[in-house]
Structure 1
Amino acid sequence: MDRESSRCSAPKYLSGHCGGTTRVGVLIGGVAAGACLMISVVMMCCFIRRRSHLRTRNRTRRRLCEATGISIPIYPYEEMEKATMNFSDKRRLGTGAYGTVYSGKLPNDEWVAIKRMIHRSDTDNIEQVMNEIKLLSSVSHQNLVRLLGCSIENGEQILVFEFMPNGTLSQHLQRERGNGLAWPVRLTIATETAQAIAYLHSAINPPIYHRDIKSSNILLDYNYKSKVADFGLSRLGMVESSHISTAPQGTPGYLDPQYHQTFHLSDKSDVYSFGVVLVEIITALKAVDFSRPQNDVNLASLAVDRIGKGCLDKIIDPFLMPRQDDWTFSSLHKVAELAFRCLAFHSDMRPSMVEVAAELEQIRLSKYVSLGGNLKASSETSSCSSSSDISEKPLNLMVKKFELDGRGIYDSVNSLDSEKDRSPNSVEDSWLSEESSPSSNSLLGHVIQ
């Protein structure tokens, strides 16, 4: 019986052991199956999410194409986050009324400027993005900032531009970057900027009115070449009319006072704003500064008063004074006279931007004429590092003749012969500097037909 009992008990022991092994095997198999299922679910979610993002980008691309007629690269929002270190303050380049601009590095190691629009409750936000995309995609000029793409998903509106490593003209004039710009560099920047605006006014049909020309919207590339930026407020003009009617928008200190009074926007509104920029370039003073005496808060009024009284020397940037030679002294006063005419209260008394660009180029070229026609760079060098690498070769726009919308050939330099000795027009002192109310009409409805 003992032998039979042992025979019977052995299978029971072995049976229990085998049962435990089976349970462990089943458990491991269940875990593996569960893991496979989870992986499958995660992969499926990733696939669905990727498909969703792809559909969103395709919808965005179609929407942009339908609205603007232009197809531009669409960047994933995650790529924008990664490029800017999750929109870190360390990458922030500046903040304006409609958005914040960050420096960003794309996966291909290209540095770009990423403009993240500010969230607003109305529809103006997306319309301004569409407006800027429409305008920047329809123009091509070496002195206009290039739009590289956009990202419109996750409730965000983001524009991607070429990167301008040397900041804005305003930052250099206010000594926020560098130690100051030499006069030849400032004059070159002014000339290039004027050429870009002249292109918008005269080489585009219908013309484009920028509406926000200011020193902080003039960017500088690696070689301090001027690039006009921020087309969020820009409008298409009408070739059959001298102006369009719209509620004034712009930056206090740069806003055309006649436009503010009459709501009539024209190319001469940009001329006025550029006149303020010219005065900034000469004086390195802010367009609006409440630390100045009450009558001098507005730079345009201050400049008109001093230039009109022949007291320009009292407001010239002290940085330029020790560096004045005969040509610098003469060209400073010529640019001041031009600024004076740009700031005329009545728009009909202001020159066109084509005339302004031509006159600035003629002033620039006069330096080489005074050197006996030698086009090599002057031995004069800037004491600041930010100016040392600037090429002073004559620009092409004014040396060559160029067509303007088939309306004939404009010889920029020769056309100035009759303007050369003209004295400044009188300028009225009235000025409205309060911030204008926003337009009740959407930009998209006017710009995108």
Structure 2
Amino acid sequence: MASDHLLVVVVVVIAVIGSLCVAAVGQDNKKVVLPYNPSCSTAGNYTGDSQYKKNLDQLLHTLAAAAAGDGWFSTTTVGTGADQVFGPVINATQCQECLAGAPAGIVQVCPGSRTADANYDACLLRYSDKSFFSELTYGADPTIAWKVYFTPFVDNMTAMNDTRRRLMSQLAERAGDTKLRLDNGSLPYVDSKLGTSALYGLAQCTRDLAASECRRCLSGYVDDLSNTFPNNSGGAIKGYSCYLRYHLWPIDITLPPPPSPPPPPSPRPSRPPSSSPAPPSSPPPSVSGGLVAGSTVGAVSILVVLGVSILLLLRRRRKHAGEARELEMDEGDFFDDEADDFEKGTGPKRFRYGELAIATDDFSDEHKLGEGGFGSVYRGFLKDLNLDVAIKRVSKSSKQGRKEYASEVRIISRLRHRNLVQLIGWCHGGGELLLVYELMPNGSLDTHLYSANAGVLPWPLRHEIVLGIGSALLYLHEEWEQCVVHRDIKPSNIMLDAAFNAKLGDFGLARLVDHGRGSHTTVLAGTMGYMDPECMITGRANAESDVYSFGVVLLEIACGRRPIMADHHHKSEVDEDRIHIAQWVWDLYGNGRILEAADRRLNGEFDGGEMERVMVVGLWCAHPDRSLRPTIRQAVGVLRGEAPPPSLPARMPVATFLPPVDAFNHTSSSVATGSSSASTDTTC
């Protein structure tokens, strides 16, 4: 059988107050740090017993050893000829702290992937089977980068933007001229409100970039500053090839001496590709380090598809036997046969109840983040993983909550996308059902839209959130192996990480449907105001239902209003003074005044073209006739500016649809807080 000659390359880029640290640690390290925005390849994945996997493990371990050496750079190679490549390694205390768990984290969230890119708080990690050294990755496109926003906001946006552009342009130019590909500095900047006298900045590229490529990368980010951070007192854009940062306090770094000229080359004895690299006999001569392990492996690889089942806890008394059997039919035999997949490390980690009780101080009220219809969510800290997490504790008395628990584990454990909340693990024991997620420090979107204690969410952040949610739905509907119908898209299920990146969560109501497959019976559940009216009447939930909910959320984000709002123009003595946000915005759209619907708290500080595009796409998605709604790909294309917005009728159309013949044969129903449910069909 023909075989591929594969190249394994791993680079970890750490941004530590502007220093880029590149390294990795071995898999045996107990500390695991999960990335925020992993991008995992799905084509040609490696298997657990493949030579590629062995090379990857060796690579991670060897890079860690290289990073532990003296100096800013070290050179480590494995293999000869085409297999010999280099990667930069910079040593710093904060780098090592991040490296203690980053590689294990990326392997955990991207199992089997031949290429992975991931963001962490203090680092960026990458590995691939193709060399990307000395290349300007993703060009200078700032939309690919990870963005960090700082507050408070400044009053004088014009002065800030002018000073920031002059400073960062100077740093970008000088950084490209230095051997270290790094420069920092400051310019006078007075803000009486914040009591500051200077603006500080830093610009840096990976040192393998050519000077011109470094300047091009940084200049692309500088050009994006005014759009991304219109009035922020600080911000950072972290890409895979360059990084810049600015704020109103000093950036304290110690620059290393420039690298000394390399010594004359000396002959080396040949070594087999699989041998461990020998430590250098003298300090490393240049800012470079890395490792490549070449191998010949088969071209066929396997993705293990996660399956989930959980043992029922309601089989204790004969009087509850009927209910237990019903649950078993709906949920499957929980964790009977397929739990082995999780135990083998192919899915989320299974925790012991005691671990999670300790992490949450025995689920104390001080750790409670919130409470829903089917249980409570607690903040916890897992010492073994050195990780802050959110732990959902399903109510023991909630039958629907138990069903959602099964669905959540079964579906979200198989999904990998930067805009989906990551399920880290689960616990089923001692009568408890617990789900462990990555912690979202900024909570849910609805808090930032409506809480009196939260500041006004600026438009650039809102626009990024819109694009993030769209990206998540595109993955769920079209890019994963099956179509995932979420069925409960709303701001309270959209979480925000430390950098305000949007992540869609709560898959308890989600259903899987094969692409192109007809409908099958399931349970309709969602929240009033976000539910497709046709779905409520005809009993058919599908991808178009999600698109409708997405449209309502877009209008909420743009207008800062809830989906069911007061109609001040058509008040009456009966309860008819409520109007849906789609109807309200559509009326303004028909009169050519759609921008009047924009959130007044923004004080006009938004891009008019972006605002109008978001609202028009929101109306398009919330069209009463689901056959005239866009696919999520079409909607995202318009939001990204890749296609023109649609031309909609001046008046909101009146929907005309009838329930199917057998729609009224389904009579069972259940109601939970903020949601309703009834039997229906699900299609994609």
Normalised by the length of structure 1, the TM-score is: 0.66
Give me the whole-angstrom Cα distance separating, in 2, the residues matched to 1:333 and 1:193: 18
SS at match of 2:545: helix
* Alpha carbons of structure 1 residues 289 and 244: separation in structure 2 relative to 1, 3 Å: farther
SS at match of 1:227: strand
Aligned residues: percent identity? 31
1:231-263 C-alpha deviation (Å, 9 max, x unpaired): 000011232346555443101110011111111
Task: Return the match for 2:461 from 157, 162, 185.
Answer: 185
Q: Structure 2 matches for 1:293-442, cutoff 5 A?
A: 294-324=576-606, 328-362=607-641, 413=642, 416=643, 420=644, 422-425=646-649, 427-428=652-653, 437-439=676-678
Does the Cα contact within 8 Å between 2:359 and 2:380 map onto a contact in 1? yes
Does the Cα contact within 8 Å between 2:334 and 2:406 map onto a contact in 1? no
1:84-111 C-alpha deviation (Å, 9 max, x unpaired): 2222222222222222211111123311
Give me the whole-angstrom Cα distance separating, in 2, the residues matched to 1:353 and 1:127: 28
SS at match of 2:442: coil
Give the deviation of 1:150 after TM superposition.
0.6
* Aligned residue number for residue 117 of structure 1: 394
Give me the whole-angstrom Cα distance separating, in 2, the residues matched to 1:421 and 1:359: 6
Question: How many correspondences in the alignment?
Answer: 328
Give the deviation of 1:429 after TM superposition.
5.4
Give the deviation of 1:277 after TM superposition.
0.6
Give me the whole-angstrom Cα distance separating, in 2, the residues matched to 1:291 and 1:338: 22
1:202-225 C-alpha deviation (Å, 9 max, x unpaired): 012320000001111111111111
Does the Cα contact within 8 Å between 1:245 and 1:263 map onto a contact in 2? no
Aligned AA (2:587): D
Aligned AA (1:142): R
* Aligned residue number for residue 279 of structure 2: none
Q: Could you list the runs of 5+ residues in structure 2 that have no partner in the other structure? A: 1-310, 313-332, 657-670
* Aligned residue number for residue 371 of structure 2: 95
Aligned-CA RMSD value: 3.2
Give the deviation of 1:321 after TM superposition.
2.8
Give me the whole-angstrom Cα distance separating, in 2, the residues matched to 1:221 and 1:282: 20
1:282-307 C-alpha deviation (Å, 9 max, x unpaired): 11112235697644443233333333
Aligned AA (1:424): L
Does the Cα contact within 8 Å between 1:246 and 1:263 map onto a contact in 2? no
Matched, 1:173 2:449: yes
Give the deviation of 1:428 after TM superposition.
3.5
Give the deviation of 1:68 after TM superposition.
9.0
Does the Cα contact within 8 Å between 1:113 and 1:161 map onto a contact in 2? yes
Aligned AA (1:65): A
Tell me which moved more, 102-111 or 268-277. Answer: 102-111
* Alpha carbons of structure 1 residues 138 and 421: separation in structure 2 relative to 1, 3 Å: closer
Q: Could you list the runs of 5+ residues in structure 1 that have no partner in the other structure? A: 1-54, 363-412
* Alpha carbons of structure 1 residues 246 and 436: separation in structure 2 relative to 1, 3 Å: farther
Which structure's CA Rg is the greater one? Answer: 1
Q: Structure 2 matches for 1:269-280, cutoff 5 A?
A: 269-280=545-556
Give the deviation of 1:149 after TM superposition.
0.4
* Alpha carbons of structure 1 residues 255 and 421: separation in structure 2 relative to 1, 3 Å: closer
Give the deviation of 1:319 after TM superposition.
1.8
Give the deviation of 1:331 after TM superposition.
1.7
* Aligned residue number for residue 401 of structure 1: none
Give me the whole-angstrom Cα distance separating, in 1, the residues matched to 2:342 and 2:591: 49
Does the Cα contact within 8 Å between 2:526 and 2:676 map onto a contact in 1? no
* Alpha carbons of structure 1 residues 290 and 81: separation in structure 2 relative to 1, 3 Å: farther
* Alpha carbons of structure 1 residues 421 and 170: separation in structure 2 relative to 1, 3 Å: closer
Matched, 1:65 2:339: yes
Does the Cα contact within 8 Å between 1:101 and 1:115 map onto a contact in 2? yes
Give me the whole-angstrom Cα distance separating, in 2, the residues matched to 1:181 and 1:436: 27
Does the Cα contact within 8 Å between 2:539 and 2:679 map onto a contact in 1? no
Aligned AA (1:103): R
Q: Which has the higher contact order (CA 8 A, sep 6+)?
A: 1
Give the deviation of 1:118 after TM superposition.
2.0
* Aligned residue number for residue 12 of structure 1: none
SS at match of 2:677: coil
* Aligned residue number for residue 525 of structure 2: 249
Give me the whole-angstrom Cα distance separating, in 1, the residues matched to 2:515 and 2:493: 26
* Aligned residue number for residue 374 of structure 1: none
* Aligned residue number for residue 361 of structure 2: 85
Bigger share in strand:
2
Aligned AA (1:134): R
SS at match of 1:101: strand
Bigger share in helix:
1
Give the deviation of 1:169 after TM superposition.
1.1
Matched, 1:74 2:350: yes
Does the Cα contact within 8 Å between 2:613 and 2:645 map onto a contact in 1? no
Give me the whole-angstrom Cα distance separating, in 1, the residues matched to 2:342 and 2:519: 23
* Aligned residue number for residue 267 of structure 1: 543
Task: Return the match for 2:496 from 220, 229, 245.
Answer: 220
Give me the whole-angstrom Cα distance separating, in 2, the residues matched to 1:440 and 1:343: 23
Give me the whole-angstrom Cα distance separating, in 2, the residues matched to 1:67 and 1:260: 37
SS at match of 1:133: helix
Give me the whole-angstrom Cα distance separating, in 2, the residues matched to 1:422 and 1:440: 34
Give the deviation of 1:61 after TM superposition.
5.5
Does the Cα contact within 8 Å between 2:488 and 2:526 map onto a contact in 1? yes
SS at match of 2:369: strand
Aligned AA (2:359): A
* Alpha carbons of structure 1 residues 290 and 346: separation in structure 2 relative to 1, 3 Å: same
Give me the whole-angstrom Cα distance separating, in 2, the residues matched to 1:197 and 1:170: 18
Give me the whole-angstrom Cα distance separating, in 2, the residues matched to 1:317 and 1:277: 14
Tell me which moved more, 233-242 or 328-337. Answer: 233-242
Give the deviation of 1:121 after TM superposition.
5.5
Tell me which moved more, 226-235 or 197-206. Answer: 197-206
* Alpha carbons of structure 1 residues 243 and 344: separation in structure 2 relative to 1, 3 Å: farther
* Aligned residue number for residue 159 of structure 1: 435
